[in-house]
Amino acid sequence: MTTQQCTDRSGAASGNCAAGLFGFKASCRFSEILRPAASSVEGFGNCTYVSNPNFPSAATPGMCEYTINRICDDLCQVRLDFDNFQTSSPPGQGAAAMQFGDCSISGDTFTATSPIGVSPPVVCGTLSGQHMFVETGTSGDAAKISFTIASSAATYQIKVTYYQCSSLN
């Protein structure tokens, strides 16, 4: 979008993209701050960043949920890039075998929920540099993401990108 379109939508222009192909456009960064204690925030734009309050400082313990709205009719997937994601890890190999890999025991969980009933697994630990896709279905909200933070050292910044069904990506 143009720099003015970005500013009008409360975004921050951060460089140029598509130079020479579609004219000069700005990459637009939208930042949403996750609020503690079961808040719900809607109205994502493409390439929104979800960050804990005061990022990169630690998150406040609590539970929060975001609804990721459908921004177009041709939406098929939402990509979640974990630019920074540091939460408590599940018990290691020294723990009981039944607990190994169980994020609910760590106290910190991240859940992405697809409206079509096929959702990625619940995750925790160090995920910086990783990503996941969430299938959106064809109607209603695109997805929901929720956090449960119990530790005092969790930090996260997640980029949300929309992919249309017609996209070559």
* CATH number of the CATH domain containing 70: 2.60.120.290
Residue 161 tokens, joined: 């990108």
- Residue 139 forms part of a structural domain: yes
pLDDT of 153 above 70: yes
One-letter amino acid at 89 equals S
pLDDT for 80? 94
Distance CA 161, CA 31 (A): 13
pLDDT for 18? 45
- What confidence tens digit (pLDDT) does each residue in 95-146 have? 554 555 678 777 889 999 999 888 999 999 899 999 999 998 887 778 888 8
List the beta strands (DSSP E) in 9-74. 12-17, 25-33, 40-41, 48-51, 62-68
Q: Is 72 exposed, middle or buried (0-12, 13-18, 19+ CB in 10 A)?
A: exposed
pLDDT for 45? 63
- Residue 87 forms part of a structural domain: yes
- Residue 6 forms part of a structural domain: no
- Residue 148 forms part of a structural domain: yes
pLDDT of 60 above 60: yes
- Residue 138 forms part of a structural domain: yes
- Residue 57 forms part of a structural domain: yes
Distance CA 90, CA 138 (A): 35
pLDDT for 81? 94
pLDDT for 22? 45
One-letter amino acid at 45 equals G
The number of distinct structural domains making up the chain is 1
Instruction: With CA atoms as reference, report the closest residue to 76 among 169, 140, 164, 145.
Output: 164
- Residue 103 forms part of a structural domain: yes
Distance CA 113, CA 147 (A): 12
pLDDT for 155? 92
- What confidence tens digit (pLDDT) does each residue in 64-82 have? 888 888 877 888 999 999 9
pLDDT of 5 above 80: no
- Residue 11 forms part of a structural domain: no
Domain of 121, in residue numbers = 27-34+47-164
Cβ contact 143:78 at 8 Å? yes
- What confidence tens digit (pLDDT) does each residue in 10-42 have? 666 665 554 434 445 556 665 554 444 434 445
